[in-house]
Structure 1
């Protein structure tokens, strides 16, 4: 199984090649120039793995949520490669990838719930809760909420305040309401990486969750009206 994965969801850009469990990756933290950097990264990981794009079984890409511009770049790039190579695409939750990367870097987080949080701006966060034994599916529906609402839902689900461990990762945790969660180990400096998208995609491939390039759609979680309002505010 060979999967080529890309990501530009947040303030970073990465490409990875998954081949039967082995992964090679290129990662660069940059707020801009994603479109210029992606193709050389893809060329490099394919060259390192010694395969051509035609030999890849599928492409994988973060489907969101995340930066509106970053998602559009990643989706468009993945669609272009998929159309050119006639390959299917495996959409992967960016929040699930964030949680998977945090668990990969912190061995003791395994088998406990991990709150993944991205800053959605406008005093809100994108968030989901994942376990390493069910890495593809959030224990609570992925959502965009105020930090206070996140805390309320975690408490209602018994994920905080019960004495059971909960870990948290992602830049969305900078809000005071989330930073004040008791007995929760948090890591703000966590990135979404293509290597984690590729590894999650391998599991989704086994679940037959690949789609054709023309079926690939980003998941914003925010509705179109909200995004248009945000764009008008930026234009002032």
Structure 2
């Protein structure tokens, strides 16, 4: 309905629509479900000529799952955790077909189910090796009521390099991650012994990490309407403003942290 209202889908004239949908239902044979992603890629490659294409894949784990079922039907010996021995090859045949050319580009956003929240599982691990950036959602943060529940430690981006974002941005990001990582290491001690048993330096680290955690969240009383907006370029100088709050938290005096300033 939203696609129709926004003009992405023209119900009366499908030729003018700007979206193509490819489905692979779970009640279909595994061979058919395995081909869905490749079929969508073929369509994206066709539209890529002199255009920029946005490709959504939901859920990539179903592609892996279908490949595992096909492998079992063929009588192949399973590899680690029961996955097909051709997992890396199959994933590569899908992911490496999403490049940009001089005539156009394909940008892919993929949802990846992580079995048992284990990022070292062969399915997500093989997938992440092909991605430029990953946004990992945390059940622990969601349980705290922190949304969006994005884990800054497990999330990655190949763009986070000094030559791309600048030395100041890179250094601030690394120090924020160090603070968050130390807080994560201290959580078990806090749960057993309490905050008072920590050293003074660790207590200030926890205070800073909690401020960072809250700063990265969005309160429930805030909302934003999904509306079509024009493109906007943001200069690196303007983009750098977003790191200033993190720098202030990192440099907060102990008195400010103690009194919640």
Q: Does TM, normalized by the shorter one, top 0.5?
A: no
Q: TM-score, normalised by structure 1?
A: 0.22
Rg comparison, structure with higher value: 2
| More helix per residue | 2
